A and B are shown apart, each in its own frame.
Chain A
Amino acid sequence: MPDTLIAKVLRGASGGGPVEPGDIVVCDVEMTVLLDLQFGHDRLGDVVAVHDPDKIAVVMDHAVPAPSIRDAESGRRARAFAAAHGISRFFDIGNHGIVHQVIAEQGLARPGTVLACTDSHTCAAGAFGAAARGLGPAEVLQIVCTGRTWHQVPPTYRYELTGAKHPWVNGKDVFLHVAGAYGEATGHALEFGGPGLATVPMSDRRTIATQGAEVGADFTIFPADRICLDHLSATAPEATPLEPDEGAAYAAVRTVDLDQVSPMVALPGTVIGNAGPVGDVAGTKVDQAFIGSCANGQLTDLETAARVLKGHRVASGTRLIVTPASQRIYAQASRLGYLADLVEAGATVTNPTCGACFGYHMGVLAAGEVCITASTRNFKGRMGSPDAEVYMASPATVAVSAIRGVISDVRELDGVPA
């Protein structure tokens, strides 16, 4: 039967036999990525032998530089693990980044392959046509040893993009539009395609794929089209096109007219059925504004923030934290002058890490505070106190809200070229 994108990838990774939604298949995992926090709880130190050191990467990201002795111990164990098992893809502090950014930069996710990582936003790699989903630490430990795991072929919601994305519209806005309109997708894959996809660059595709976890999707996946393959030409030149089959069956096909997507904001708590146009909440006072995370700490996000902030000041009573997603982005943004624009406008620019995104360090919220974030999650308590409120929006919306001190529409800012 004709394959959806996810069915095609899982079929290929499990021996090539026909698959349909509901089937459970055992797949070869092409790349397994471990992260720092995992070394705190896990039995990685007891692994006798890894299945293939060339198919494993270790990334220091969630808690770096170590904010506690426990995290420092995890770092020590991660280094010992990489050394003991001969893992050359070890991204230690100074050569690191948020795991999903590193996967993208290093070409660790290739179209048509299966990638495993102990993080729920592993679906980010679906932007490159990989079957990638969050798995728990015990399962990833097993994959480290055996190189395989099982997946269930999910039914797919197909998002057919038409029209053209406006320059002020970010992947975040497209995602929030979808999450607000269509709600949860538990046990399903999200597949994006259609003629409008040509106006959606890789940075936006990565934001959308990353956020798929927030509606509970198993996988989020994009085709490997010309834009994707061009992007991969330096890191994965052997990558080949990947498209769903003509006539594939979908659980639903939903058309998104990109011409109609405008800046969006998710209200605190969840993105599921809980997002609307920025105008709905404009004027809400903001204590903290955050631009960063695996979803929106990319170079383009820093460029957008710098463009909005240049020549302005962060409002008094509001703090803006900007966290580049990787050391490479940090260096590029520095060279291009974005960091100077941000710092001169009053932003605090941190080192690359997960940091404030999961309320662990460098930007934790107090009770009663309001945050607008371009990161991935707005759950109660996610970024600190359970009595703080977290709104979610694009980097442009977060940046303009930092200048105004209240949630604002970037299209109203004077002097910002569209």
Chain B
Amino acid sequence: MTDPLLVEGRAWVFGDEVNTDDMYPGFAMRLPVAEAARHMFDASRPDWPGLVEPGDIVVGGRNFGLGSSRPVALLFRELGVGALVAERFNTLFLRNCVNYGLPALTVPGIAGAVREGDRLRVDVRAGELTDLATGTTHAGTPLPDFLADIIQAGGLIPRLEASGHLRPTL
């Protein structure tokens, strides 16, 4: 089985302070997740959900994910995004990524260092990103082990099922 914390894919580069209302517009909260995902970045980059491919990596700037607690990570996962990388994540957003099993790594200065379309390798546990297009390696801030373990387990929901807190869906 492949390690979800070791991701290789094509980069999409976003800017600073991309907020949750852009990623997951309010009106889309009344849609099923599969449909809501088609509306990611409606306000800033509406064609993106049609362009992104499974395994791609989203790179953001400062304060990525400022805003709401809405589970944006579910939409990224729905579109098959393999990992998020940002110079700095909003902490609520980062918790949501971890808790929904979406690999996320903080790498200072990264948004200006990689180009859109570059192939990247992200090792979330080691806290390392390699730009395969240039061969450059960037040091990130590894997550504490207990959070990396949650991502590896696919998020909190499978764990709550395994521990008997949540009835499994059939």
Contacts and interface: CB of A to CB of B under 8 A. Distances in A.
Interface of A: 24, 37, 40-41, 43, 46-49, 63, 68, 70-71, 118-120, 133-139, 141-142, 145-146, 150, 152, 184, 186-187, 213-214, 216, 218, 270, 272, 358-360, 364, 377, 379-382, 386
Interface in B75-100: 88, 90-92, 95-96, 99-100
A139 B21 contact: no
B167 A46 contact: yes
B71 A48 contact: no
A141 B44 CA distance: 31
Interface stretch (B49-57, B62-70, B118-126, B127-135): B62-70
A360 B92 contact: no
A186 B88 contact: yes
B17 A381 contact: no
Contacts, number: 136
A214 to B, nearest CB: 8
B30 A136 contact: no
Contacts of B149: none
Contact of A216 (B63, B95, B157): B63
Given A46-B166, A380-B43, A145 B160 contact: yes
A24 B155 CA distance: 19
Given A138-B156, A272-B63, 14 more contacts: A40-B29, A41-B74, A43-B169, A119-B68, A135-B92, A136-B92, A138-B71, A139-B95, A141-B157, A142-B160, A213-B67, A270-B19, A379-B43, A386-B44
Nearest to B155: A138
30 contacts: A40-B30, A41-B33, A41-B71, A46-B167, A47-B166, A119-B68, A120-B20, A133-B92, A135-B69, A136-B96, A136-B99, A136-B100, A138-B99, A139-B96, A139-B99, A150-B146, A184-B62, A186-B66, A186-B91, A214-B66, A216-B66, A272-B63, A358-B21, A358-B26, A359-B26, A360-B26, A364-B27, A381-B21, A386-B25, A386-B42
A135 B166 CA distance: 19
Contacts of A142: 99, 156, 160, 165
Interface of B: 17, 19-22, 25-27, 29-30, 33, 42-44, 62-63, 66-69, 71, 73-74, 88, 90-92, 95-96, 99-100, 144, 146, 155-157, 160, 164-169
A379 B22 CA distance: 8
A43 B157 contact: yes
Contacts of B29: 37, 40, 360
A48 B167 contact: yes
Contacts of B17: 270, 272
Highest count of chain B CB atoms <10 Å: which of A68, A139, A218: A139
A45 to B, nearest CB: 9
* 4 closest residue pairs by CB, A with B: A386-B43, A136-B96, A381-B43, A145-B165
A142 B22 CA distance: 27
Given A142-B156, A186-B88, A379 B100 contact: no
A145 B160 CA distance: 8
A256 B158 CA distance: 47
Nearest to A382: B21
B22 A380 contact: yes
Contacts of A119: 68-69
A360 to B, nearest CB: 5
Contacts of B43: 379-381, 386
A118 B169 CA distance: 22
A135 B95 contact: yes
B155 A48 contact: no
B91 A218 contact: yes
A47 B71 CA distance: 19
Contact of B169 (A46, A150, A270): A46
Nearest to B25: A381
Contacts of B20: 120
A119 B67 CA distance: 10
Contacts of A379: 19, 21-22, 43, 67
A381 B22 contact: yes
Contacts of A141: 156-157, 160, 166
A48 B166 contact: yes
